[in-house]
Structure formats: C-alpha cells, structure tokens
Amino acid sequence: MKIAIGADHAGFVLKNLIAGQLRREGHEVLDLGTNSAESTDYPDYAAAVARDVAAGRSERGVLVCSTGIGMSIAANKVDGIRAAHVSSVPEAVLAREHNDANVLTLGARFLKEDPVPIVDAFLATAFEGGRHARRVSKFEAIEKENCRKFVPEGTKE
C-alpha cells in the first residue's frame, strides 16, 4: 500500500519510527516532512498529506503532531479527507470500519500505546459499508455544500 506520512517537529521522531516500520512491512512510504525537530507549522504537513490522499496518489495518510488534534483539524479541511485522531487499536479499527477514515492522526506526546499496532490496524481494516456507507455519504454531502473541491496542480476540474 502507498502511504503518505507527515509530521511537525513534535511528531518528527515518531513519524520516522512509523515510516521505517511501514517500509519494513513492505509499504511504499511517501514522507512529506518535516525533516528535523526544528519548530514548524503542522497545518503545512497536514495539507500536503491530505492533498496527496485526496488526489489518489496515496491510498492512506498518517500524520503526527504533539496531540494529533491539530493535524486532524487541518487535514479534514481538504475535500475527500476523513481524518481520524486515534489513540488505540480499537479506535483505529472503528475509524476504518465505520467512518472509512483515510488519514490517521496520532499525538506523539500523549500516546500511551505503541503506535505501530495502531497504524497496522488502521491500514489492515476494511470499511464495512452497509449502514455506515449511508453515513459516510452524509459527510460527503456536507463537504459538497460547504467546501471548495481540491483540484490537484496540473489537472482540470
């Protein structure tokens, strides 16, 4: 699976740990930064990962910041993104099964569990569809009413 990954300075170390593990598992990882622990702004990385996933260049995204909350808020501003802030394996599974989440956000300073099983569960779990598909379609309707569609650079709407 192709996965876009990004972090701010607070999530830099954890992002690198996760990216390394994903590569060892055979995933193709697109690291969209940051590339140091120097202070930076998380919305820049959230937008880069979210746009990559929304454009279909990556199948899923993983974002890490201090709490995971800011990354989730920023990523969810991109049309087509359903970013879920998760801190446990059961939450990761439900984010996929019930919400068809396509971006996972983690809080580097607040995780109490090993993040690798959380990420693995997120990537391995399929969307259940059924009654959940109706609800996800309602997310999409809200986006259509309120969001400007993201058009990848070099393409036409």
Among the residues of the chain, which ranges form H helices?
A: 12-24, 42-54, 69-75, 89-99, 115-124, 131-146
Q: Is 27 a catalytic residue?
A: no
Query: Listing from the earlier edge strand, what are the strands of the sheet with 2-7?
Result: 28-31, 2-7, 60-65, 103-107, 83-85
Residue 46's pLDDT is what?
A: 98
Query: Which residues contact residue 1 at a Cβ distance below 8 angstroms, ignoring those fewer than 6 apart?
Result: 27, 28, 59, 60, 123
Q: Taking Cα atoms as reference points, which of 78, 95, 84 lies closest to residue 132?
A: 95
Q: Could you give the dihedral angle defined by the CA atoms of residues 79, 109, 4 and 155, in that order, rounded to the nearest 10 degrees? A: 30
Residue 65: active-site member:
yes
Q: Please provide the distance, in angstroms rounded to a whole number, between the alpha carbons at the two ends of the chain.
A: 27
Cβ atoms 137, 111 nearer than 8 A? no
Catalytic one of 65, 85, 132, 147: 65
Indicate if the pLDDT at residue 153 is higher than 80: no
Considering only CA atoms, give the Rg of the chain: 15
Gap between the Cα atoms of 58 and 81, Å rounded: 12
pLDDT of residue 17: 97
In the chain, % of residues over pLDDT 70: 95
Is the overall model pTM greater than 0.85, yes or no? yes
What residues contact residue 94 under an 8 Å CB cut-off, 6+ apart? none
pLDDT in tens, 49-58: 999 999 999 9
- The one catalytic residue among 9, 98, 132, 147: 98
Structural domains in the chain plus CATH codes:
2-146 (3.40.1400.10)
Q: For the segment 17-54, what is each residue's pLDDT rounded down to a tens digit?
A: 999 999 999 999 999 999 999 999 999 999 999 999 99
pLDDT at 37: 93
pLDDT at 1 over 70: yes
